Structure 1
Amino acid sequence: MNKKFKYPYVITVPGYIEASLGIQVVHRLCHLINQYGGEAYVISPVINPEWNTPQLTSGKFNEYKESGEVFIAVYPEIESGNPLEAPICVRYMLNREGVLNGNSINAGEDDIFFFYRQEFAENEANVNLLTISTYDLSVFCDDVTKKDLDLLYLNRIPRSSVDFSTLPENITVLSMDQPLSLNELSKVLKRGRVMYSYEASGTCALAGLCGCPVVAKIATGYEKYAITENTSKDVGNSEVAWDDSPNELERIRASLYKYRDFYEGLEIVSNQQILKFLDITQDKAQGFYNKNYKENIMEWVNKRKLSSERINLLSKSINELVSPQIIYVCIYDQYESWRKVLITLESLLPVKKMYSRLNCIVFTDGEYTLSKDFESWVSLCKKTKLNTTIQNIAMQQCFNWLQYVRAGVTFVADGFFSTICYLNKGSEYSAVYPDKIFISECGELESAFLPDFSIDYFLGFPSAFFVGCFFHQSVFIDTSNYSDIYPDFFDFDVLMRLITGKGNRHVGHFSEPLLISESIKELDDNKTEYLVSNYLNARGYVNSLILPNSLGGCRVVYGHKRDLPKISIFIIDNGDVNILQRCVMGLLEKSKYTNYEIFILSCYAEIEENRYWLEEVSKIDPNRIKIIVFPHQESRAKLNNIAATQASGDYLLLLDAEVFPAHDEWLENLVNHCMRDEVGCVGSKVINLNEKVYSAGMILGLNGVVGSPFVGSHYSASGYMHRLAIEQNYSVLPLLCLIIKRSIYQDVGGMDESLTEANLADIDLSLKVREAGYLAVWTPYSIVATDLSPEEKNESKEIYSDQDKVIYHKWGNLIANDPAYNKNLSLKKNYKIEEHSRAYGPSLESKKLLSVTIFSGGCNPMHMYRLEEPFYKMRFDGMIDGVVASEPFIMSDLLKIEPDVIITQNHIQSREITNFKSMNDCFSIYDMNYYELSKFYDNKSKKEQLNKIKEELAYFDRVIVGSEVLAEQYGRVHHDIQVLPTYLPHSWNDLAFKERVSDKPRVGCVTLDLSDEDIELVSNIVRDFSHLVTWVFLGTYPSKLKPFIHEYHRYHGFTHYPQQLASLNLDFAIAPLADNHANRARSNIRLLEFGICAIPVICSDVLCYKGNLSISVVKNRYKDWSAAMNQYIHDVDSARKFGAVLKNEVQENWMLNQKNLETISKSWLPR
């Protein structure tokens, strides 16, 4: 398949039938997409076997959809909504909306429209045409001389509406009641003297091709179907007769050649249109993929870019430090490339300008000359002197921290600023590694967001850690330790020796992406083995086996000197004897490791089948298989605790009955780790029978209290940063298959028997083991299986039980910031970049900035205007910190963010906010910008709703409203009401405008948030002035206005709205509003939008539009609107001057300038 057309199409269409041109066209579209190298399918019961139109059955479609692939749905206009739930929707308009089925399309803002004919677009502007011909011109041609039939075409017009007395006798009716094949139809049309038609149809064109003139008729009540001059334009201006007089028919016969000329030329046009169709739809799908699936790390980095104001504040704080840290960056010119050296040096320039204590040494054998930009802080040194140079400057205390990078690395300046703050805050670590951005083998940038130091993960993937690592000066004091370091892997060598000498706890992690680097995987296997062997020998593992991997790391088989321990395996009977039998027999039959005993803990022995099986299985080996029967149902925690008191093994293996071994080394690979002194527990990879991951460790805070990453991935996948393929340390492991030292289990008090819900007891046990100072190791080399579905896992919780709250209170800090995860990764989509774009941290500023969390309302305009845009501007200017939470939040999100202030426009979130405030005190604000009671007409309903609103708003500390009217309305229901106007962001200042040149004034109306009542106020004005102005409507309008509106523009969403409005090229605009409660409480934002575009405005005399803006305010009476329209129409130049004045007023008073930002800040500050 052509990579350009990589996103597939799924097309819904009725079964193929030759009697319907529209259906043929849609099937033909599928065929053409495939012919052009795309991938297209039809969901249709019948296809044309001669065309390439593969069917997609509902079953296959469900499989196809579950794959998660981005696809494009193509719907003809007879389809409503988005039944396939496609990410990309294309509307193929083979007629006007609602003409055939009477249905409303219910299109989304992002839907793409293509029209079969211009006629079907009516007054819509900027349309895309897709005219596909299915006619065989060798079949439909005028090759019959005998014309002996008078024809009537009927499809959508009922016979009862036809006056047959006005038509020739013995007329032949063509209708769908008796459909003809195409060959049969052509034979009839070729004999036609004339064909009468009450509707525009492709059959009329076929008649023309066959030499039969068409007479246009109109049926009362069915005028919308009639042939018009516009329908003729769509067929190359081919003509129809408007009566059946001999002269008129003769005139039309003489022009029938135009049909053939049009269709012969259509193929070239159609080819161009189908290519445009493919380009537009594929670009749309690619954009969706980039936004929702592709990791765009640089876009994420740029969103967090520090403003000059923030940098100045940071610089001031650094200059006030008593003893700022000296940082040396050592650049190793591995390939003698001055170009690569310059890339790295130039990326450090902005850092050096801000931080004078940054210095650099380039280790190179090249003969280079430094420019003025670098000569004061960069020195050149031969590679052979690398070790002695670093030791000398360490001994002379020339630096506090040293970083070693390879030439070609690009530093992220803002990340370096943040790192400087971190290093200057003081650190107990001897080495600190940052997050980074790796360049993949195919040249794409990929995030490398790492966990806190994990010795097992480090051994498996060392370059993830050592690239960009900072080393403290004290590391290099013992010169004998570092005299033989190999320069190519200096940082790996130093870090490995540091861990060998001092242990894991001296390595810290700073979770900011600091640099862009190639991923280093081609390490010297011998060097790796030498360093790892030294580490293992120092820890007493002299018999260990080191198995290199493809990442430059290794897997370690520790070769313990002690006797292999006895394992006590606990299996809890779940009541299903078949499941239990599979688990136990699988264990007995598929375990190389045999030094174990089995405890089967059953609360189901009263069931005869279970009791019989338990008795029989105990006979297999009474010394190894022990049955403990309980008379009543007990919690899993209590059963395990009881079994632990009776076990004789040194280690306990908690094995879920739903799980069974997938290979015979599963147990010995667990024992390999659990015998290490520093390890407390070890867990397996759990897969299901479809070879998909069911559990692979657990992440605290993921989708709630805890979640399992990589669920649903293929078991052999490597996962994010190879974390599904490498042994590593987690904070929490599930009890599906977990081995733990019995002494540790007892020391931490076993499992908490009060935690009976879900896997809360698992979490608590793992974290108690961690708190006791032990590691939890997860190994992909121990695989067990289950027939449970992965989809049953990973469900986020919205309601928190008392037991959830116990866990949140006890382990909240770890749930918010799991050391085994990364704060830059989402807690809703595992190992995806966090969409809550937060500022860089930490900071050196003495006064902590207010941390504000905005709960996003998507692209709701008022949310963007009142919350997101002010927030981003204030954060950029250094007034606040915080995040915009773009998805419904979960508790762990808030615990991670730690906001001082929460602001939302969604009072439904009040319960969640209350839950959070019970754990973390913060100030909550509800921003209200509309009048909720306007839809309640009787006082009783209003009172009930008012009480409900009062109850919901009671959860918030403050309510901010957009107008004095709202403040008055809601002053009775909340104790702290503040009025805050709505301002425009500065992006409105950057719009592109065209020069306004037109014969008639272009008058606009934006209907996006107008009611039918609002538009009705000016319906007669629109009608009566349609001959004097060009009406331009952005947004939908009542169908009765269609004859009078010249241009209709579909709304393409808030992101595109500012430029869309500017591109309308309006001379002036109208803004009608009915005078009611809801409208009086509105903001004046529509006037501001017109104003910043210098568009003069005539608006209704409603309270929300009153003020000091230079606009024409009129009463909602026809004569007042008419007078204002006439004034603007007859003096457009003066009206434009009003527009210029209005623009100045908006720019001075209604933008997000410093003064207005301070006003907002005061409203957002807690009391």
Structure 2
Amino acid sequence: MNSVPLVSIVIPAFNSRFFRAALQSALDQVYDNLEIIVCDDCRSDEIKAIFDELVAPDSDRARYLRNPQRLGFQGNLLKCLEQASGEYIKFLCDDDRLYNYCVAHQAQTLDTYKDVQLVVSKRHLVDVDDYVLTARMENVGLVPYDAVFKGEDMLAIFERTPRNYLGGFSGAMMRRADVQEYLPSIALPQGFVALLDFTLFICLLRRGNLVVLHSIQSTERLHPGRFSSQGDMYQKATTEWGWLNEMLKARSGEDAPAQGWVRFLPLRRAHEEPREWDEVGLYGVMAGRQGVMMSRVGSASDSYAELYAEWLSCRRFSEPQKKLLEQRIVSWAWQPRIVPVIIDQQGDAEALDITLRSLAEQDYAADSVVVLTNASVDDPQVLRFSLQPDWARQLNEVLPLLESADWVYLLRAGDRLTQPALLILAERIAQTPGLLCVYSDEGALVEDESREPIFKPGFNLDLLRAYPYVGRTLAFERRNLLDMGGFDPAFDELAPHDVIWRLVEGAGPQSIEHIAEVQVESRLAFADWLSLPCVIEHSEPLVAAHLSRIGREHVIHHDQLPLLNRIEYVHPSLPLVSIIITARDQLGALERCIDSLLSNTTYPNYEVLIVDNASESAEARAWFTAMSELGSDKLRIVSLSEAGSEATAQNHAAGQARGDYLLMLSAYALIHQADWLQGLIHHAQRPEVGIVGPRILNPQGNILYAGMVMGMDGLAGRPFINFPAGASGYMQRLQLTQNWSAVSGNCLMVRKEVFDAVGALEAATFTQGLQDLDLCMRVGREGYLIVGTPDASLVLAEPAAVERNEASRQALDDEQKSFFQKWLPKMARDQAYNPNLYLNEALSFTLDPGLLAGWSPFCTRHLPFIFGMAVNSSAVGHYRVSQPLLELMAAGRVVGRMTYETATPVEIERQSPDVIVFQGRYTEAKVPDIELAKNYSNAMRIFELDDYIADVPERNEHKRNMPDNIGAMLRKGIGLCDRVVVSTHPLAEALSGMHSDIRVVPNMLATHLWSNLRSQRRSSDKPRIGWGGGTSHRGDLELIVDVVRELADEVEWVFFGMCPDLLKPYIHEFHPGVSLKTYPAKLASLNLDLALAPLEFHIFNDCKSNLRLLEYGACGYPVICSDTEAYRGHLPATRVYTNSSDEWLQAIRMHLSDPNASYRMGDELRETVLRDFMLRGENLQYWANGWLPD
């Protein structure tokens, strides 16, 4: 009898294009009790053919049904439901895909929590080619961990925000009985279709709770042929949102804790009885994420082509950056003279014109341009030479003629340089001493559209021996090139690469530089160039000549493609290898490891040292005793009397090892390749190599380790994880020997001489498993190569994860901090990777789209760099961080970058800012952002605060956001910073006991948003009086309830942004909030004759700024305000001193009695605001004083 509930995966199939991947993902589920049902609504036999190909005829796991007649989407869903018999059901759309453990994780959740009616998981959005697109609001998730949410509270969120944050059918699992109850009634022929999935979810949440699993468990494919993109689906969705909103409004049940808030619990606590719910302001969380999403490249892209085009468009200099280019160039020690050399082998005038036009548009002008062509060239600035058959030999004749040139840049007709390409190249040359050759990332031109970017690693000796990955768009230092004798024509197309090898041999690999920017796009794409017969023909001879010059005996094999070189290094001896395996009671795994090692290893000269790390079980102790009594030279037991760390055990064994080479091997390793040790040792014997690691597979035959990328997913990550062993990988890298910064300690070979020279493993510092990474980094620092090779392969049966106790978790945390502090600069710039790629295992070697703004390709700076970490992209984030930073940059006073997310240590190190501005970091979740920067960056830290959040009025909506320890956390955050910047003097005074350097920088208005506003006066029969602002002012507005009621028949009350319930019966208009971009114009369009700014008398409001008056003033509105510290000063306004209804009424009637005088006050206020409070000119000095070091 099966111990887990039956799950039905039902596929309502119609489109065969992606059906194979969908069905295969269902078949690959790691779950025992599963049925898969395909209901085919397609008229062709394509879906059935795929099913028959993938599913065995006698399978009891999957079955196929063809609908006799077309049922349509709704009908096919109901047919699937009718056929299903599982306790739980998952609808899988035919263009989506599940990850292997999706069903297992979701079914376990439903089985464990009986009050949960709906489980959804995060998902990737992918395009037609399975490229993972930028996350957006629909798939960003709710909280950053598995959590259960109160269903009724979620309904209130969806009523307020008509948007589906949960995903579609494929990402969800439900109880079949619930679906049978609801789906037939909402999927009627005239019922829901465009929003059918979300409507069903709404119905389920009326009955029970929601679990959102934070891990990615599925993909949803975006493509023009998907069901939601067909015909009138957009119009149907609009109609159905109206139906859904009516359903939500009509619901009954328990109210949410407050508007925008939901009850939830981390899933790890959901079993607690009684369940004590936490609360989260989900509306505010999602609103904040909206700004984050919109700051990223590709947040609206439905394909990789769209995403990449937007990414490229962001890699151009902004107007402020362009203004600073001349200043930057002058700051260089010298200005390199670069001569592009264009080789036009086809005599293609059109292609040549593309290249010449791109050179004419450069931000840094070429010294001259040389063209080798048989076509005519009209440009008098171009030096034309008739192309000879042997262009390499001809270049040797041309180079001496270019007497003014410092560098030459090899191009082909049809290459299109990006506009900043020569400037970036020149800066790298000028600022990096000793450079002799430069290569870069590149892209393809497909029908003149940008496609196929290639993101290369830094110089990688072993990868270059495998094939010429650097490409052909190479720049060389001319004088050195001449001194070397120029190009060797014998290597034809690869003559420049022969120069690279001679540079490596003579000047060292440090003379070769990589620019991680797409500098050139070409009609002759990277892959097409590599496929040229002349490239393939000379790939092996080129490398063979290099190896011969340095005296390295070798044999070159071609296992995959004729282009790719697999080099077998031939050595005269077979040195002794000491294989070190540590174990503590893992007897079963250890026996399997030893058995596979002794049975399957053909290399003759090795010894095995097994370290008994103080095993406790009697069985293990007996086994170790028996092994030690064998007296074998091949296998020795090394015992520790007291348990130590793995590093301690390995060092102890290394001290007793007899071999010239040490191999650290996991007890969970299984040897299946007979010559695995030969595959490692022939690399380890090379004098330039310090460490070698194999390719490590899981028991299913997929990649676990193929090198390590530093900074990926924290300290180091595993690129290509879960790829099939036979996959080629990005740039063929999964099948090639190459250099990494680190390899896995599960199987790591190191020369004993090198191991001893670097001081062995740092056992005292790293007791929690980081010793292997640290060893790789120290060996690499000494100039040795870390080699990862597929020449050797083994299997690792990873042990079950062990729950760490608090002491162990703290020790690991401390060691990770130590590792970051020791190696962060190297981690942030891993030369085996590329900074344009995701630092995420699941997305390794995939373009990281990054942010829309802040691109800077330079390796040096000539202005202070400010890294702004704002809380949001609107309101306070705009006024206090992003807009001031933009204006300082536009004025040429700083350079900078904005983010609305928490930055990792690697991200901060990559930016290497001079100043970091931390806004709103005063909670337990956010103060660690500052601690992180303090630990890992030398940047000056600024604490930015706009409100006295330590004491918030009871009726302020933000009161719910404030934890009990807000005062302590505020003090802690401030104490971690070098300076505090606030918006008002009262706020500075309130915080004076927390810091000695507090500076006041008043709020100001952005010129482009506020300087040209016009509103109308006397636009209605009655005076228009109103208020505009954010959603946290209930207490302030309730001060004037009696005033609004008293004047309801005499004036038109207008409220914008919020209106408390008590006022709603008496108002004339309410306008909901809008985006920051449209807020000023919207405020002006209210056409108020009088604007009010009531504030409660409270220290929180005393510490606020006069921003409301500034905004009103920019619109020309006359103002009546409460007489709080916030509104005192020289701004012309009528002030109410007691906040009594009588005084408010008296002030309003005074203005109404003399409208012309009132309007003059509005004009005077506008004049003052536009003169003194705009974010420009001398006012920027406030921000410079606040943010920059003295």
Contact 1:570 1:598 in 2 (8 A): yes
Query: Following the alignment from structure 1 to structure 2, what is the Cα–Cα distance between the partners of residues 427 and 861?
Result: 46
Structure with higher Rg: it is 1
Query: Post-superposition shift, 1:930?
Result: 0.5
| 1:965 matched residue in structure 2 | 986
Structure 1 letter corresponding to 2:440: P
Q: CA deviation at 1:41?
A: 7.9
User: CA 1:522/1:810 → structure 2, altered by over 3 Å: closer, same or farther?
Assistant: same
Instruction: State the distance in 1 between where 2:803 and 2:488 align.
Output: 49
Distance 2:985 2:1159 in 1: 31
Q: In the alignment, residue 516 of structure 1 is paired with which amino acid?
A: E
Give 1:1150's aligned residue.
1173
Partner secondary structure for residue 69 of structure 1: strand
List per-residue Cα deviations over 1:330-362 (Å, max 9, x = no partner): 22335544333333333333436x54x532123
Name the CA shift for 1:481/1:368 in 2 (closer, same or farther; >3 Å): closer
**Further displaced range: 628-637 or 532-541:** 532-541
Question: Equivalent residue for 2:894?
Answer: 880
1:966 Cα deviation (Å)?
A: 0.5
Q: Relative to 1, partners in 2 of residues 1:306 and 1:1120: Cα closer, same or farther, differing over 3 Å?
A: farther
Distance change >3 Å, CA 861–CA 656, structure 1 → 2: farther
Unaligned segments of structure 1, at least 5 residues: 9-30, 73-83, 90-97, 115-131, 139-200, 206-218, 225-281
Q: Which residue of 2 aligns with 1:112?
A: 163
Task: For residues 767-793 of structure 1, give each alpha carbon's deviation from its aligned partner in whole angstroms, at most 9, with x where no partner exists.
Answer: 232233210011245333334389999
Partner of 2:229: none
Please give the secondary structure, in 1, of the residue aligned with 2:368.
strand
**Contact 1:328–1:358 under 8 Å retained in 2:** yes
Structure 1, residues 942-961: CA drift from partner, whole Å, max 9, x if none? 99976764454233221111
| Aligned residue among 460, 466, 469 for 1:454 | 460
Are the structure 2 counterparts of residues 320 and 975 from structure 1 closer, same or farther at C-alpha, using a change threshold of 3 Å?
closer
SS at match of 2:420: helix
Counterparts of 2:75 and 2:505, CA distance in 1: 56
SS, match of residue 358 in structure 1? coil
Q: Is 1:68 equivalent to 2:79 in the alignment?
A: no
- 2:551 and 2:813 map into 1 onto residues whose CA distance is 47
Report the CA distance between 1:516 and its aligned residue: 3.3
Q: Within the alignment, does 1:956 sit opposite 2:1011 as a pair?
A: no
In the aligned structure 2, how far is the partner of 1:631 from the partner of 1:974? 53
- Residue identity in the other structure for 2:526: S
Structure-2 separation of matches of 1:67 and 1:593: 47
1:347 paired residue among 342, 352, 358? 358
- Are 2:648 and 1:638 equivalent residues in the alignment? yes
2:999 to 978, 990, 997: 978
* Matched-pair contact (CA < 8 Å) for 2:950–2:970: no
Match of 2:541 in 1: 530
What is the alpha-carbon distance in structure 1 between the residues aligned to residue 600 and residue 1067 of structure 2?
77
Post-superposition CA distance 1:286-341 (Å, at most 9, x none): 96464999994565565564455544544245458786321011223355443333
SS of 1:68 mapped into structure 2: strand
> What is the CA-CA distance between 1:392 and the residue it aligns to?
3.4
The alpha carbon displacement at 1:628 in A equals: 1.9
State yes or no: 1:369 paired with 2:378.
yes
* 1:241 equivalent in structure 2: none
Distance in 1 (alpha carbons) for counterparts of 2:726 and 2:1071: 50
Structure 1 residues 874 and 655: alpha-carbon distance in aligned structure 2, compared to 1, 3 A threshold: same
Given that 2:309 and 2:450 are in contact with CA atoms closer than 8 Å, whether structure 1 keeps it comes out as: no
Letter paired with 1:878: G
In 2: Cα distance, 1:632 partner to 1:439 partner: 64
C-alpha contact (below 8 Å) 2:122/2:141 kept by paired residues: no
Distance 1:898 1:523 in 2: 42
Aligned to 1:1078: 1100
Q: Which AA in structure 2 matches 1:387? A: A
**3-state DSSP of counterpart to 1:975:** coil
**Which residue is 2:915 aligned to?**
901
SS of residue paired to 1:416: helix
Measure, in 1, the Cα distance between the counterparts of 2:1109 and 2:810.
Answer: 40
Matching of residues 473-512 of structure 1 within 5 Å: 473-479=479-485, 481-484=487-490, 486=492, 491-492=496-497, 494-496=499-501, 498-499=503-504, 504-512=509-517
- Note closer, same or farther for the CA distance 1:1137–1:749 as it changes in structure 2 (3 Å cut): same
Report the equivalent of 1:544.
555
Letter of the structure 2 residue corresponding to residue 988 of structure 1: L
- 2:947 pairs, out of 930, 944, 965, with 930
Pairing 1:76-475 to 2, within 5 Å after superposition:
86-87=139-140, 105-107=156-158, 111-112=162-163, 288=299, 290=301, 296=307, 299=310, 303=314, 305-308=316-319, 310-316=321-327, 318=329, 324-351=335-362, 354-355=364-365, 358-370=367-379, 375-376=380-381, 379=384, 381-382=386-387, 384=389, 386-396=391-401, 397-425=403-431, 427-437=433-443, 445=451, 448-460=454-466, 462-475=468-481
> Which segment is superposed worse, 611-620 or 1125-1134?
1125-1134
The one-character-per-residue Cα deviations of 1:804-843 (angstroms, maximum 9, x if unpaired) are 5554554454234333344555657765538476553547
Partners of 1:969 and 1:283 in 2: CA distance:
35
1:669-680 matched pairs, under 5 angstroms: 669-680=679-690
CA root-mean-square deviation: 5.3
What is the alpha-carbon distance in structure 2 between the residues aligned to residue 1114 and residue 35 of structure 1?
69
Aligned residues: 954
Question: What SS does structure 2 have at the residue aligned with 1:106?
Answer: helix
Q: Is 1:819 matched with 2:831?
A: yes
Q: Distance in 1 between matches of 2:889 and 2:79?
A: 49
Say if 1:967 and 1:979, in contact at 8 Å, map to a contact too: yes
**2:856 counterpart letter in structure 1:** Y
Q: Secondary structure at the match of 1:1078?
A: helix
Identity across the alignment (%): 26
Structure 2 residue aligned with 1:519: 526
Q: Secondary structure, in 3 states, of the residue corresponding to 2:951?
A: helix
Q: Residues 788, 320 of structure 1: CA spacing in aligned structure 2 closer, same or farther, 3 A cutoff?
A: closer
What TM-score does the superposition give when structure 2 sets the normalisation length?
A: 0.69
Name the SS for the 1:779 alignment partner. Answer: strand
Structure 2 unmatched runs, 5+: 1-13, 23-66, 93-97, 108-118, 128-136, 143-149, 166-184, 192-241, 256-292, 955-961
TM-score (ref. length: structure 1): 0.70
Residues 1050 and 806 from structure 1, CA distance in 2 versus in 1: closer, same or farther, beyond 3 angstroms?
Answer: same
For 1:35 and 1:1031, how far apart are their aligned partners in 2? 54
Distance 2:635 2:963 in 1: 70
In the alignment, which of 762, 768, 774 is matched to residue 752 of structure 1? 762
Q: Tell me the CA shift for residue 641 of structure 1.
A: 2.1
Report the alpha carbon displacement of residue 663 of structure 1 after superposing the two structures with TM: 4.4
Q: Secondary structure, in 3 states, of the residue corresponding to 1:514? A: strand
Alignment partners' CA distance in 2, 1:786 and 1:929: 54
* 1:1077 partner letter: I
Residues 533 and 954 from structure 1, CA distance in 2 versus in 1: closer, same or farther, beyond 3 angstroms?
Answer: same
Q: Is the 8 A contact 2:576 2:605 kept in 1?
A: yes
TM superposition shift of 1:797: 9.9
Residue 502 of structure 1, CA deviation: 5.6
Determine if the alignment matches structure 1 residue 840 to structure 2 residue 856: yes
- Alignment deviations for residues 569-621 of structure 1 (CA, whole Å, 9 cap, x no partner): 11111322122223222323444545432221112455221134445667999
- Cα separation, 2, equivalents of 1:425 and 1:1072: 57
Per-residue CA distance 1:735-764 (angstroms, 9 max, x = gap): 111111222222322212212333332133
Q: Over residues 30-58 of structure 1, what are the superposed CA-to-partner deviations in whole Å (9 max), with x where a residue is unaligned?
A: x9xx9887999899999999xxx974799
Cα distance in 2, alignment partners of residues 840 and 921 from structure 1: 20
SS of the residue 2:422 aligns to: helix
The aligned runs of 1:985-1134 (5 Å cut-off) are 985-988=1006-1009, 1005-1020=1027-1042, 1033-1043=1055-1065, 1051=1073, 1070-1092=1092-1114, 1099-1109=1121-1131, 1116-1118=1139-1141
Instruction: Letter of the 2:428 partner, please give it.
Output: Y
* Whole-angstrom distance in 2 between the partners of 1:798 and 1:380: 69
Look up the match of 1:208: none
**1:1110 Cα shift?**
6.0
Displacement of 1:494 after TM fit? 4.2
In the TM superposition, 1:601-620 aligns within 5 A as 601-614=611-624
Match of 1:165 in 2: none
Say whether the 8 Å CA contact 2:298–2:307 is kept in structure 1: no
Given that 2:1035 and 2:1096 are in contact with CA atoms closer than 8 Å, whether structure 1 keeps it comes out as yes
